[in-house]
A and B are shown apart, each in its own frame.
Chain A
Amino acid sequence: MKRVLLSLAFVLVAVISLKAQSRTVTGTVTSEEEPQGIPGVNVSVKGTMVGTITDIDGSYSLTVPEGSDVLVYSFVGFLTQEKTIGNQNQLDVFLEPDVKTLGEVVVVGYGTQSSKLSLQSISTLDNSQIERMPVFTAQEALQGQAAGVQLTGTSGVGGSQQNIRIRGVASLTAGGSPLFVVDGVPLNDGSSDDYSNTSGAVALNPLMELNPNEIESISVLKDASAVAIYGSRGANGVILIETKKGKSGQSKINVDYYQGIQNPTTVRPYMSLQQYNEYRSLRTGTPITDLPQQGFDWPDAVIQQGAISNLNLSASGGSDRTTYFISGTYFKQDTYALGNELDRFNGRLNMTHEFSDKARFGANIGLAKTYNDRINSDNSTYAPLTSAFLHLPYNRPYDENGNYTRLGFVPNLLAIEDLAITDYITRRTTANTFFEVDVLPDLTFRTDWGIDQIQTEETFRYPDIVEPTGSGYKRIIQDYKWLSTNTLNYQKYFGDHYVGGLLGYSYEQSDFSSITVEGSGFVSDRLPNVASAATPTITSATGTNWRLASYFTRLNYRYDDKFLFEGSARRDGSSRFGANNRYGTFWALSGGWILSEEGFLQNSSWLDFLKLNVSYGTSGNDRISNFESLGLYQAGTLGDYAGSPGIYPSQPANPLLGWEESAQFDLTVNASLLSNRLDIEASVWNKDTEGLLLDVPIPYTTGYASLTQNAGSMRNRGVDLMIQSTNIQTPSFEWRTILNAGFLQNEVLDLPGASKDNEDRRFVEGSSSQRAIEGHPVNTFYLVRYQGINPETGEAEWLTKDGETTNTYSANDRVIVGSAIPRLSGGLTNTFTYKGLVLSALITFVEGNHIMYDDLRFLNNPNNLNSFNLDPQLLNYWTDDNRNSFAPKLNGDTQSSFAQRSTQQMRKGDHIRLRNLSLTYTIPTGIIERTKIIRSARVYGMLQNFFTLSNLEAGLEPEVNDGGGNNQRQGESFFTPAQAKSITLGVSLEF
């Protein structure tokens, strides 16, 4: 394959040399904002149709016909300039900004576009915004910053993923998170759940290996016109991340350091030993004095103050032809949960070199190693933040001699922390190299080779005290992905007519393999490796692969930079789909009109820019497991018997399995008003997903649980709103406000083949508490309605299906009671600048969702007396004197059913959170200059997640998700660790 590509390059180079001509003018177009060059500037020969546009570094090369002597340079956001050529063949131009508009460039799929002229619905976050509000992980940077993008923290455990949903969830069973593309390399992330065996909502953050300091920009592609070019992987939206590149000129060195402390936002209440004894005595009649008088405060022991610190060093610069950016980071987090630590090293080298005016190459290389001392969380007895609340308060971690006690099923958490190894190490290389050549002045060929190689190493070693004789486990996973992307890019002005075209081919392949060993029976806890185990219980090696081959194209046409048209298409072939449905074609069309360029608006005193665009198109979702279409018999332990190899039926066949396809309509208005003090972007959109990959549950009597089918359809519709306003602007003081809000409505339209409830609605069960129901959202809570304790009888009451009060709990009385999907979510950023001081506050808000706290079924359950610790609210039981109680009367008929699954454990999730409050002080240059070394210096302090406004009682955290990335199980918690709140101080220096 490489040979094919090389010969192709040779052909191209040969063509270029043939084409070389005599009177050619070259040069670079720059501005004050972009001294390294402005891409996309229209350069034309006055009075002719001849023209070109500048490439990524602002340079151009134009063949001027005989008799012409004047070049015209125009670009949206800048004043048009004319230059006489004379005898020169090098013309460098410095453009002055047109105060009316600003010409920012936005990164789109396989290229860049002028943001004012782009027809794509994209939310962009640039480095300055990230710098102003430092975050610990790259994903957090998007929090509340992009309209229509919902980020939900899943867990407070270090390294956990945040659920990112762009314009709602467009799938049930296939992955719901967007495609992440870093410098053109789509990241391995669809299978991140496969990478680790630790329990809990632990899908790891796919961007963990990326340091936020290294990011130049993040673009969130939302509408069909933006994502269709990513075809079968675009349906969930695409997030493009560009890392920082060097700029020609003087070299700069940056040092950034921050350090902080972390605590949980909230801690669940639990009974003290005294309270527990009191309750136990009430229930059993045993005098308190006969109950254990000594105990241990488990939650207090496993929740500690965490620490976080980060040191980043970077250097960037370059000569005329070569630029570089180099960066190294060490990040360390010791979370508030006992035994949970994260250490991350990463390094990056980005460079580009121009070896002629026509040809360039470059490489972006990111390396990272993350060491994660993991903990279990959620539904695991080894999870410190679960079991601490379950341990009976009289269970003690040490015996009289100070040795660890063996506590059995709910193990000794302190012994685990002290003696067990629970390591998770990730080594990742994400890199690409490219070669780009201007085949013709207006035609660029680019070949880009990328890799994303992940190796994970998970080690568990539990000591004898926790697992008798000790147990050891190691799993090594390698996920090696490479891809090649080859594009031809053409753009040219013919007078008022602009034509742009992109044609590309890409091939991508991923090879996943794993090696797992497990053993038990160790002579000593001091032998850490499985090799020392007497009995190897697992020795396994597996492998799997997938491939994707794609053609894609995009065509742009503009008339007078006023009427805009774009069409794009992609054809993907994926190994994941059935032989009969292997290929899928996706496309989009869009049109726009810049009304502010029209005569009737051009002289408006208050309107600076107004654009209207509309798009419609399709994209797909291929995130299913690799061989879901085949009928399979699987080998392995589940097939083997009595030492002989066996196989068992594991999956029914479905040769018709094909793509999920989302069709999206988008209407967007962009406006700048009041001398660009007010920017508004509003989109109305509708996304219909057809052929929803559905694990249609089939009766277990078939031998299988479900059949994957392209059966369902679902609709997401909503409004994205972004308002950016400069409220006050004086030479020394500025107040800016950015509001991002997304309104979302999700509805499952059709689930053919799925089972019907007794209201005759088809549904798919996502968990014991929630379902996707036709005509309702995909995460609809379906529960029995809990009414409370009857003040007269002291018994718990529920509502029957028909709304009648009953004392008898029955699962048949379940009804629709809410949805886990917020109707409204977004963020409000206020930034106040006074001289060198910047105060920035980000408030995020979520409205309209519900959360199921499944753990309350344990903590509020009177049956669990003597099994688990309990919620102190159980002491508030009904008596004649306490008629408005939390719990039913002691030993009443409903005591055993009180905590059955119902709305008793469900809450409204509405909340407003002060996500980030930061104060930055830039030391005046006057002072800094005296140092002669430091060019600029900044100190900053931040509070994160410090304040939350909600109706939730203490101990309940609204940002939880024990289902991780599972689309069908959202908004549920099973002792899911709360988010951390932190205080951070930092300093940033530039040399």
Chain B
Amino acid sequence: MKNLKTIVYTGLLGGSLFSCEDLDIDPQQSLSTELAFADKQAVEGSLLGVYSLSQEFEVFGSLPHVIADFQSDNVDFIGSFPTLQDIRLYATQSDNATIRDLWRRHYRAILAANAVIQFTPESPDESLTAEERAQFVAEARFMRALLMFQMVNLFAQPVQVGGEGAAGIPIVSEAFTGEIIGYPRSTVGEVHAFILSDLTNSLDDLPVSYESSSFTRGRATQGAANALLSRVHLYREDWQLAADRAEDVLENEALYGLASNYDFWGENNAEYVFSIQNSEIDNGRTGSGGWASYYNPAEDGARGDAPFSEYLLESYDPTDRRLTELSKEGENERMYTTKFPDPVNHSDNSPIIRTTEVVLNRAEALAQLDGVNQESLDLINLLRERAGLSAVAAADFSGKTDFVDFILEERRKELAFEGHRRMDLLRYGRALRPVGDEQFEASQAGQNKTILPIPQRELDINPELVQNDGYN
């Protein structure tokens, strides 16, 4: 028995030698949260992550824009995706998985922004200067504002319809600490105020430009913040502020200006105030879709879901270069835009804010303030000239309403397929579809399904949330 003991002990000894094996293994493709803000490179990487998450399909990778387009009258829906079809037919249900994912991805990007805002000032790396820290935080604030504005436009009635007190979206301004908080919906007014404060507070800390053009156009700048401010004020009918902020952008002629023709698409140039930078190897496209996938014909390898609607075709003068130079006919005999020419590799940038929009913002705001006025006419004529159309003069308009409508129609033709049309109709209390359309009634501003449902999944988990009318 003594031998037995010896053997057992020896065996156990042998075993215990093995057990020195280290069970602490670090992941190879990830960093712990502490390391993510440990030094300057990591902090900047965490900031770029915010842009990258915003690049996703469901964020600025075309989904919100195509949803807005399908709701309104610029495109037809000839696709098959049931969740998009429901949106098109104003038959959306609260469990629409596409909308759920849209909500989810926006808040993921917002979380990443919150983490940068919260942890950057605390980073232990002393080589990170106060100015750099302030800039990184300001960039994250800009992105947070941009993300939240897109969300509130989709999920809440516009102030023109629901007022400041209409249910908006949850405001989340802190990094996730492990505590699960069920955020309630703030009002549209509160959300707008939060967005405006993020933008105004970040303005001074943002750079005017960056060393590389892809960053100047693709990261937050003073120009981008002013342009977004202009849009927010415009949507809120704070016309003077909208006009002023637009001017702040256009003043910097070295950086921003209208391109002379339509070859500007896809490049980083003065036409772009802010665009999400995509490339062949890094873009937001998924199997479900992408800019080039929705807006190109099927034979190019795209989904081909969203050709020109008859309504939009009719709005163009046949010689309008915005039609003749920016469209093509698919094999299905439908017209498609050429604004996103790369359905193979999806390298087209996402056009989030263009100089053209800023010009239109100012023209519209001034028209609202002063009626038919020369500056607005000049701005509009710049665009018409580029489109190969004759200039318009004050005498062509019967009054302010007529002039504003004309500007809005120019806005529609300039910015088609970039996701603007829906809000441009709703903020004027107009139906998203014209008279005679099957969904004309359902698409009246203020109708329930002109805005999206809060995802059922969120309501199920978070009792603080309230569903939009018509989705219960």
Contact = CB atoms under 8 A, between A and B. Distances in A.
Nearest to B456: A811
B293 to A, nearest CB: 8
Contact of B91 (A12, A542, A897): A897
B461 A698 contact: yes
A505 B15 contact: yes
A445 B6 CA distance: 13
Contact of B345 (A535, A635, A636): A535
Interface string B93-104: 111010000011
A8 B53 contact: no
Interface stretch (A137-145, A624-632, A980-988): A624-632
B402 to A, nearest CB: 38
Interface stretch (B66-74, B250-258, B300-308, B381-389): B300-308
B17 interface: yes
A25 interface: no
B29 A699 contact: no
A236 B366 CA distance: 70
Which of under 10, 10 to 19, 20 to 34, or 35 or more describes the interface residues of A?
A: 35 or more
Nearest to B30: A632
A653 B179 CA distance: 11
Nearest to A699: B462
A703 B461 contact: no
A6 to B, nearest CB: 10
Given A408-B298, A647-B49, A703 B343 contact: no
Contacts of B51: 641-642, 646
Contacts of A643: 214, 277, 279, 282
Contacts of A975: none
A710 to B, nearest CB: 15
Interface string B142-177: 000000000000000000000000000010100010
A505 B18 contact: yes
A472 to B, nearest CB: 13
Contacts of B127: none
Interface in B174-209: 176, 178, 180-183
B114 interface: yes
B46 A867 contact: no
B11 interface: yes
Interface in B8-35: 8, 10-12, 14-15, 17-19, 21-25, 27-33, 35
A445 B11 contact: yes
Given A408-B302, A646-B46, A757-B460, A439 B7 contact: yes
B23 A699 contact: no
A639 B345 contact: no
A332 B80 CA distance: 38
Contacts of B277: 641-643
Q: How large is the interface on B (under 10, 10 to 19, 20 to 34, 35 or more residues)?
A: 35 or more
Given A18-B3, A705-B104, A768-B97, A535 B11 contact: no
Interface in A744-785: 755-757, 763, 765, 768
Among A15, A408, A486, A630, which residue has the most Cβ atoms of chain B within 10 A? A408
Interface in B89-143: 89, 91, 93-95, 97, 103-104, 107-108, 110-112, 114-115
B344 A467 contact: yes
A378 to B, nearest CB: 13
Interface in B429-464: 455-458, 460-462
Interface string A853-865: 0000110010110
A468 interface: yes
Interface string B248-288: 00000000000000000000000000000101111000010
A15 B110 contact: no
B52 A648 contact: yes
A539 to B, nearest CB: 8
B111 to A, nearest CB: 2
Given A536-B281, A631-B33, A641 B48 contact: yes
B180 A698 contact: yes
B25 A545 contact: yes
Contact of A700 (B19, B46, B103): B103
B49 A646 contact: yes
Nearest to A12: B7
B218 interface: yes
A707 B179 CA distance: 11
B55 interface: yes
A4 interface: yes
A1 interface: yes
A420 to B, nearest CB: 14
B144 to A, nearest CB: 12
B299 interface: yes
Nearest to B217: A642
Contact of B46 (A445, A544, A647): A647
Contacts of A703: 107-108, 110-112, 114, 172, 176
B46 A574 contact: no
Given A15-B7, A537-B280, A633-B46, A700 B108 contact: yes
A793 interface: no
Interface string A1-41: 10011001001100100110000000000000000000000
A649 interface: yes
B362 to A, nearest CB: 28
B112 to A, nearest CB: 5
Nearest to A812: B472
Q: Which of B53, B219, B297 has the most CB of A within 10 A?
A: B53
Contacts of B95: 768, 811, 901
A546 interface: yes
A640 B282 contact: yes
A702 B180 contact: yes
Given A542-B29, A864-B80, A697 B49 contact: no
Given A582-B23, A699-B458, A469 B112 contact: no
A730 interface: no
A520 B345 contact: yes
Contact of A699 (B36, B94, B180, B215): B180
B112 A649 contact: yes
Nearest to B299: A406
Interface in A495-551: 503, 505, 507, 509, 520-521, 535-539, 542-547, 549, 551
A989 interface: no
Interface in B341-373: 343-345
B42 interface: yes
A544 B33 contact: no
Contact of A641 (B52, B178, B456): B52
Given A408-B303, A637-B281, A857-B82, A704 B48 contact: no
B8 A503 contact: yes
Contact of B31 (A573, A632, A642): A632
17 contacts: A15-B7, A19-B3, A486-B15, A490-B4, A536-B281, A549-B18, A573-B19, A631-B33, A641-B48, A641-B277, A642-B48, A646-B52, A649-B111, A811-B93, A858-B82, A863-B82, A868-B80
Interface of B: 3-4, 6-8, 10-12, 14-15, 17-19, 21-25, 27-33, 35-36, 42, 44-53, 55-56, 78-80, 82, 85, 89, 91, 93-95, 97, 103-104, 107-108, 110-112, 114-115, 170, 172, 176, 178, 180-183, 212, 214-215, 218-219, 277, 279-282, 287, 297-305, 331, 343-345, 455-458, 460-462, 472
* List of 10 A-B pairs having minimum Cβ-Cβ separation, nearest first: A703-B111, A408-B298, A646-B48, A505-B15, A648-B49, A755-B461, A633-B36, A642-B277, A632-B30, A468-B301
Interface of A: 1, 4-5, 8, 11-12, 15, 18-19, 380, 390, 406-410, 439-440, 443, 445, 466-469, 471, 484, 486, 488, 490, 503, 505, 507, 509, 520-521, 535-539, 542-547, 549, 551, 573-575, 579, 582, 626-627, 630-653, 697-705, 707, 755-757, 763, 765, 768, 809-812, 857-858, 861, 863-864, 866-868, 896-897, 900-901
Given A486-B15, A547-B25, A702-B181, 6 more contacts: A4-B18, A539-B281, A582-B23, A641-B282, A646-B51, A705-B104
